[in-house]
Chains A and B, each alone.
Chain A
């Protein structure tokens, strides 16, 4: 079956530091990959996505590149802000067994805290 593994947190950084959150996946098909962000007390929001190998998703200064050869989709940001403090989820979407519906599989989430 499909699975997503992301680095365990929590991750604590100072403002303007470089961020990397690792994400690797296993999938039987050709998945699309996503990063979602969850701010305290809220639901998840889509941060960025990539639908095929070598695609780069980007949004709000965050980037992630779909690497099929290493089955990875690491999240990066060059200079984090206090407002980036949140939980980040890596996820993949692939056709479920039977091939009729797409199923989303989430990683366990990584808590990021950015201090001023």
Chain B
């Protein structure tokens, strides 16, 4: 079955450490996205990528970085510069250049102490 895989489901890190969240898709979608979800705030866009080797900042990109070396993969690094990194992170993909719905992974819950 095609879909999006995020790993791990739960991640714990000490403050000051960078951490990378994995996102892999086998839907052959060109576009991929990272969202952050906090209670009562809905989803906020961190970064998105329309094609391989290209990506753009979303609404809350500060303290995060991404890469898109392969069509299937869009890892997100939460750096030590992110002031409030504890959150639920969702990866999504869609067909590029169309109004098609997003397909989401099951998320990674990151806790930084």
Contacts and interface: CB of A to CB of B under 8 A. Distances in A.
A92 to B, nearest CB: 10
Contact of A44 (B41, B99, B102): B102
Contacts of B90: 43-44
Contact of A102 (B41, B42, B92, B98): B98
A108 B41 CA distance: 5
Contacts, number: 43
Interface stretch (A15-23, A45-53, A63-71): A45-53
A107 B102 CA distance: 15
B42 A45 contact: no
Contacts of B99: 32, 51, 93, 102
A89 B102 CA distance: 13
Interface residues of B, number: 20
Contact of A107 (B42, B92, B97, B107): B42
A108 B63 CA distance: 23
B104 interface: yes
A44 B42 contact: no
Contacts of B41: 108
A109 B45 CA distance: 15
Main secondary structure, interface of A, reads strand
A89 B42 contact: yes
A90 B24 CA distance: 26
Interface in B80-113: 90, 92, 97-99, 101-107
B82 to A, nearest CB: 21
A43 B105 contact: yes
Given A43-B105, A101-B50, A102-B98, 18 more contacts: A32-B99, A34-B101, A36-B104, A41-B107, A43-B90, A43-B104, A43-B107, A44-B104, A46-B101, A49-B101, A51-B99, A89-B42, A89-B43, A93-B99, A106-B43, A107-B42, A108-B40, A109-B42
9 smallest CB-CB distances across A and B, nearest first, come from A43-B104, A108-B42, A46-B101, A44-B104, A106-B43, A43-B106, A32-B99, A106-B42, A43-B107
Interface of B: 4, 6, 40-43, 45, 50, 90, 92, 97-99, 101-107
